Structure 1
Amino acid sequence: MKRWIFAVTAPIVLIGQPLHAEDEKAKQEAEALAALTEAFHVEPLAPEARARLPLATEIIEQILPDGVMNELVGSMFDRILGPVAKMAELSGPKLADYVGYSESDLGLTDEQVAEVAAIVDPAWQVRQRRTLEFTQGAMIDAMAAMEPAMKRGMAEAYAEEFTQAELAGIKAFFSTEVGTSYARKSYRLSSNPRILSAAMSEVPRLIDGFAAMAEGLKEAQADLPAAKTFDTLHVSERARVRELTGLADEELRLGMETAAEQAARKSPF
């Protein structure tokens, strides 16, 4: 009942407080960004490394000439996500995307699922293709925006990791015809079909290993007490959770059962 009342009244409340809601959202986003930035904070370069930074920056400009990240994203889409998207299109629509239930929940055939999708969203195939195309363009734009920062970070890393003599040798190599070719092609090689094919050939072995990994995870957690269920909560604990969440007993029971099912499905193996 509380959820129903909230669902009906929330829009009315929000209409009266649009600026407050926007301010609160912006505050939360700023706090999350600040926490993320702090998690990856690094100390300033030491004086010796800072002295090597100009040479390191020249090397990074050779390794990552302007536009190479755009080429990398385009290559990734063409060689990896393109085939995946084609497979998804050939496999047909997913019933849950349209009615909230899976094919197995309702026992529908592929033909019936396709008919439902055509009724609910006649343009689902076009929508899927346009989503992929838009995503590719958005990622290219994002990488273009990130490229200067990535170059700056790589230059600092090179300045920190290599000596002046090593940096000079690296620059000399990348100044050659072979070095220039390597710099231009090395990032694209990460999505080379041969490398991808070799990696995919190991997927069956990886999947076979998941069972052993799952057992290993169970052993690693064997000494931990199981998370409590609604029924194993003490009366006082249940009352406190109800007080904190505002949920009634049946809502809490259902929610905890659903959470346990989702946790089981979210196992990394």
Structure 2
Amino acid sequence: MKKWILALGAPLALSAQPVIAQGQDDEAQMLAAMAEMFKVEPLTAEQEARLPLAREVISTIMPAGAMSEMTGGMFDKMLKPMMEIGAEATQATLATGLGVGGIDRAMSDAEVREAALLIDPVRDERNARMAQMMPELMSNMMESMEPIMREAMIEVYAANFTTRELTDVNTFFKTESGASYARKSLALQQDPRLIAAVMQSLPVIMEAMKEMVLEMEARMADLPEERSWADLSASERERLQALTGLDAQTLEEGLAYAAKRREESKKSLEDF
């Protein structure tokens, strides 16, 4: 694999430069647009004066390493079991591995696993390494995010609590009970009871989403479907080719594939 990558690397590196540059430009534009969407008003002088008090509160709630510790608990209690379930071979995952839409024949679990190991003999080791790697990667990510999140929370508290309120909170945190609350507040969000409640809510959420999908379809039922190659006039086809730089066959096949994907998505929503 390494030799194959190196063999292709030189010509691809040259040809990919405009694409990479374009991708970087697109990413920069997207990030800039998102930053503009979530642009916040600067703190007032009064709010800025409360920053030291807010910092004291947040340093108690979120000491160094708190987010990483919280993530570790979340992984052990929720993500790890979900990964273990997801690692099990099923006919659906087997079909994906084979690059086919589905497998009509009903296969036993043993048959599915045997077939899965045929196309990926080291799947168990691969999944084990992923399970071992994920907590470390998530912890590293949280460590990188923590300073940013801490500063944001400091500003949020300074903007939303008065000097009196922040002082009272700090006074409470200096008590034995307050210190216990501050230390546990982030970790409590990963309590098995809350996670269980989220899981119990899934049927309600799924039903609500299904109703949303049906309502969206009803509200757009009078709109025409996206046009296919056959729906375009000769002049429109020529214009589309000129605009995209793609030939007629590519556009015809691409539009057909897009229509197929839309139908598959619609069917998935109906089955959902």
Contact 1:59 1:171 in 2 (8 A): yes
Residue 4 of structure 2 corresponds to none
Q: Give the Å deviation of 1:26.
A: 4.4
Aligned to 2:226, what secondary structure does the other structure show? Answer: coil
Flag the 1:261–1:21 CA change in 2: closer, same or farther, 3 A: closer
Residue 232 of structure 1 corresponds to 231
Flag the 1:265–1:39 CA change in 2: closer, same or farther, 3 A: farther
2:33 matched to 1:35? yes
Q: Give the Å deviation of 1:141.
A: 0.6
Provide the rounded CA distance (Å) in 2 between the counterparts of 1:203 and 1:174: 36
Residue 6 of structure 1 corresponds to none
Q: Give the Å deviation of 1:65.
A: 1.2
Provide the rounded CA distance (Å) in 1 between the counterparts of 2:153 and 2:128: 35
TM-score scaled by length of structure 1: 0.82
Deviations 1:190-212 (A, max 9, x none): 22211122222232233334442
Residue 139 of structure 1 corresponds to 138
Provide the rounded CA distance (Å) in 2 between the counterparts of 1:122 and 1:206: 38
Flag the 1:39–1:179 CA change in 2: closer, same or farther, 3 A: same
Deviations 1:117-144 (A, max 9, x none): 3223211111112123222211111111
Residue 80 of structure 2 corresponds to 82
Residue 165 of structure 1 corresponds to 164
CA RMSD after TM alignment: 2.8
Q: Give the share of equivalent positions with the same residue, in percent.
A: 36
Provide the rounded CA distance (Å) in 2 between the counterparts of 1:54 and 1:264: 56
Which moved further from structure 2: 15-24 or 40-49? 15-24
Deviations 1:9-42 (A, max 9, x none): x977534457666555544444443333333332
Flag the 1:205–1:22 CA change in 2: closer, same or farther, 3 A: closer
Provide the rounded CA distance (Å) in 2 between the counterparts of 1:254 and 1:248: 10
The 5 Å alignment of 1:34-183 reads 34-92=32-90, 94-102=93-101, 104-105=102-103, 107=105, 109=107, 110-183=109-182
The 5 Å alignment of 1:201-240 reads 201-240=200-239
Flag the 1:65–1:265 CA change in 2: closer, same or farther, 3 A: farther
Instruction: Give the count of matched residue pairs.
Output: 259
Provide the rounded CA distance (Å) in 2 between the counterparts of 1:228 and 1:249: 15
Provide the rounded CA distance (Å) in 1 between the counterparts of 2:198 and 2:242: 51
Provide the rounded CA distance (Å) in 2 between the counterparts of 1:266 and 1:214: 12
Provide the rounded CA distance (Å) in 1 between the counterparts of 2:80 and 2:259: 36
Provide the rounded CA distance (Å) in 2 between the counterparts of 1:157 and 1:58: 13
AA at the equivalent of 2:39: H
Flag the 1:244–1:115 CA change in 2: closer, same or farther, 3 A: farther
Residue 185 of structure 1 corresponds to 184
Query: Can you give the 5+ residue segments of structure 1 that lack an aligned partner in the other structure?
Result: 1-9
Which moved further from structure 2: 167-176 or 236-245? 236-245
Which moved further from structure 2: 45-54 or 28-37? 28-37
Provide the rounded CA distance (Å) in 2 between the counterparts of 1:51 and 1:76: 36
2:251 matched to 1:256? no
Residue 3 of structure 2 corresponds to none
